[in-house]
Amino acid sequence: MDINYLKKLALLGAHHKPLEISSVEFASHMDTSPQTAARKLKILEDEMHIKRQIVHSGQLVSITKNGLEALQKERNDYQIIFGNGHKKFLTGKVITGLGEGHYYISLE
């Protein structure tokens, strides 16, 4: 799977609602030939990352749950690479103190 094609579909809104787009139009977004764009869409469909429905002006493309999971995995990988990937959680109970914080806040 080429995640960039799936990511572009999401950026165009196919994760919210079906996106009406022709292979020629999608190819221009991806800076590739219409044949390559059509082939990549077919691969994404075969891998069940997208659903396609042919209409008179092209096709309706929507990202499936499987496709969203692939995008989420990619996002998680980038979070690990660029930080914030390993979250730490603190648990505890907030209580009032003795008021000594006022002293430290007033220092310059």
CB contact at 8 A, 61 and 40: no
- Total domains in the chain come to 1
**CATH (domain of 9):** 1.10.10.10
Contact 44, 30 (CB under 8 A): no
- How far is the C-alpha of 89 from the C-alpha of 69, rounded, in Å? 24
Please name every residue paired with 50 in a beta bridge, in sequence order, or none if there are none.
63
**Domain-embedded: residue 103:** no
Residue 97 lies in a domain: no
Sign of CA dihedral 37, 43, 49, 55: positive
Asked, for residue 92, whether it belongs to a domain, the answer is: no
Range of the domain at 56: 3-82
> Mind listing the pLDDT tens digit of every residue in the chain (108 residues)?
789 999 999 999 999 999 999 999 999 999 999 999 999 999 999 999 999 999 988 899 999 999 999 999 999 999 888 886 566 777 888 777 777 776 667 766
- pLDDT (0 to 100) of residue 96: 75
Q: What is the pLDDT of residue 57?
A: 84
